Amino acid sequence: MSVGPAWEVREDGGVTSWFDVRLEFTDGAGVAALAVVSERGVSVEDVRARPALSLDDLAELADWIEGPLFEACGAGPERVAEAAGPRRARPAWPRGVEGRRLVAQEYRAAQAQGDDPVLAVMCATGHSRRRSLRLIAQARDAGLLTPRHARS
């Protein structure tokens, strides 16, 4: 893995830094990413992979690069974590029928309160929006949620 600075922007007393990240694997596969480190934490802006990454691997990418990225930018993880607030590990979420049942429960509870149901599932599972939408679709397919569109 190699990490190198791309550019940095200083604004309103804060610093946002972009880094080029490259991962090369022994089987010839590789990932090139543009990662951003700011007071709010680490995010990935652009990813190019050969072969293409699965959605699960893409969700794990930030975890793969976090340590080397912090070392390269010279900021200890504590500094960025303190600025971003407390970081929580992803909560354990059951797989299979039980997981789909819990997704449906969170979704319906948010709807009943007038909140964004997708955001509620994201918060409950700790997954990204895309992964949460996939979990919601699985709950719909299992008949635990009403169909999204009425079919004629």
**Given a cut of 80, is residue 46 above it in pLDDT?**
yes
* Whole-number percent of the chain with pLDDT over 70: 83
> What pLDDT, on a 0 to 100 scale, did the predictor assign at position 94?
80
The residue among 41 and 108 whose pLDDT is bigger is: 108
Q: In this structure, what token pair is assigned to residue 27?
A: 């089987």
**Given a cut of 70, is residue 150 above it in pLDDT?**
no
Dihedral pair phi/psi, residue 131, rounded to 5°: -65, -40
**Given a cut of 60, is residue 79 above it in pLDDT?**
no
> What pLDDT, on a 0 to 100 scale, did the predictor assign at position 140?
92
The confidence band for 109, taking pLDDT boundaries of 50, 70 and 90, is very high
> What pLDDT, on a 0 to 100 scale, did the predictor assign at position 103?
92
Task: Output the CA–CA distances (angstroms, integers) from residue 41 to 77, 105, 108, 141, in the order listed.
Answer: 9, 30, 31, 35
Q: Distance between CA 108 and CA 119 in Å, rounded?
A: 12
Task: Output the CA–CA distances (angstroms, integers) from residue 24 to 21, 27, 30, 56, in the order listed.
Answer: 10, 9, 4, 19
| End-to-end CA, the chain | 53
- Given CA atoms 104, 148, 125, 51 in this order, what sign does their dihedral have? positive
Q: Is the whole model's pTM more than 0.75, yes or no?
A: no
**Given a cut of 60, is residue 89 above it in pLDDT?**
no
